[in-house]
Structure 1
């Protein structure tokens, strides 16, 4: 089953400094049919104006993954962490028992990010934060795990949940496959370009909610950059 959610059907709001699109219910946008997908709770497509950003605010009990599409995001938190994550790279904040953080676009142009929240499992632990580069050349023509709570994904940023976040870069005409385990839920969005997933068309910013598909076969109709979340039900 693949349910395509077109970009122009997403909820959201334009605050001037922030133009946000919500794949799932978030803030003032509420759709009882779009409350999450498996353990995936939030997927926001955010454009942040230059010199602006999210001021310090609290979170707890959530795995928050930021995938930077264009520009860069600068992070500060109550643990004393500071860092800058550039386009194509990823940061992870495990909110755990509680953390305050700020995310700013200190760049001269707009920054575009995917903000992905996944519900944690297991015991509540102290908060943490990390970031690392993931060169796009290393995921050319294939999916690479960017963040994961699944055993064996040792090269990925750690998250505290039965899920993984993956990225792939496909040239027009290239095909990549991903095996989806039984009972798993997947959600995929092209950060750029257009693809077909198991024969269904998916454009930039569209979301594909997937389950009961043993293999995902993705063919690029034009150069494409993909982000995929595979989570427990």
Structure 2
């Protein structure tokens, strides 16, 4: 009896895909602010979608010229901002005043408490993604940092939250490994990519836990993806 050819192995991934159109709308359209929230936020309370590991918010914000968020408080939160297009003006009560541009990573550790202002003082529309992470421990002093022009090969570590941010920019057919980690959160900024069996477009996100060997594959030109490597 001839030997049977073994069937090819298939890899099954458990990935929770959240589409852009399922995000919770927010902001103040009359004031030129449009927001889309990936997690339970404000009036959109969802007890089953409060956080993913340390990540507690991933907000897409669009500000018209002259629009912005007036001074408001934060505490016990690591706030990371990625500008997609335009220019963000940031001011806080620890004395920092910064212009944040595409490719820059801005981090504000609110610690025991800080207040800040976020505005679009330019003449062009502003789009940015802002991500909030819960720190491993409460308290401490507020801290601020900006990393200019983050490259694909330069992960941005956030040890206060046990997390690392990776930026992946992909051309069609180009592959990039996703870190093997207890949890991984993927947010597509622009373009189209594949993650395992799933095709993801702008604003789509994916959550994976304890997955090994995941890869991103570029589908469209100029795809840009934010990947959070989370230790918890």
Q: TM-score, normalised by structure 2?
A: 0.89
| Partner of residue 211, structure 1 | 209
How far is 1:220 from its partner? 0.7
Q: Following superposition of structure 1 onto structure 2, how do residues 41-56 of structure 1 map, counting pairs within 5 Å? A: 41-56=56-71
Contact in 1 for aligned 2:163/2:230 (Cα 8 Å): yes
Larger radius of gyration between Structure 1 and Structure 2: 2
Judging by fraction of residues, say which structure has more strand: 1
| Partner of residue 156, structure 1 | none
Structure 1: runs of 5+ lacking an equivalent: 150-159
Contact in 2 for aligned 1:96/1:126 (Cα 8 Å): yes
Contact in 2 for aligned 1:55/1:102 (Cα 8 Å): yes
- Provide the rounded CA distance (Å) in 2 between the counterparts of 1:122 and 1:28: 27
- Provide the rounded CA distance (Å) in 1 between the counterparts of 2:58 and 2:27: 16
Contact in 1 for aligned 2:134/2:161 (Cα 8 Å): yes
Q: Following superposition of structure 1 onto structure 2, how do residues 168-207 of structure 1 map, counting pairs within 5 Å? A: 168-181=168-181, 184-207=182-205
Equivalent position SS for 1:20 = strand
Contact in 1 for aligned 2:155/2:167 (Cα 8 Å): yes
Equivalent position SS for 1:204 = coil
- Provide the rounded CA distance (Å) in 2 between the counterparts of 1:215 and 1:228: 14
| Partner of residue 106, structure 2 | 91
- Provide the rounded CA distance (Å) in 2 between the counterparts of 1:19 and 1:125: 32
Contact in 2 for aligned 1:64/1:94 (Cα 8 Å): yes
Moved over 2 A (4+): none
Contact in 1 for aligned 2:81/2:107 (Cα 8 Å): yes
- Provide the rounded CA distance (Å) in 2 between the counterparts of 1:147 and 1:190: 20
How far is 1:14 from its partner? 4.7
Q: Which of 44, 59, 66 is matched with 2:81 structurally?
A: 66
| Partner of residue 157, structure 1 | none
Q: Following superposition of structure 1 onto structure 2, how do residues 1-233 of structure 1 map, counting pairs within 5 Å? A: 1-16=14-29, 17-122=32-137, 124-135=139-150, 138-139=151-152, 144-149=154-159, 160-181=160-181, 184-223=182-221, 224-233=223-232
Change (3 A) 1:123 1:60: closer
| Partner of residue 154, structure 1 | none
How far is 1:123 from its partner? 5.2
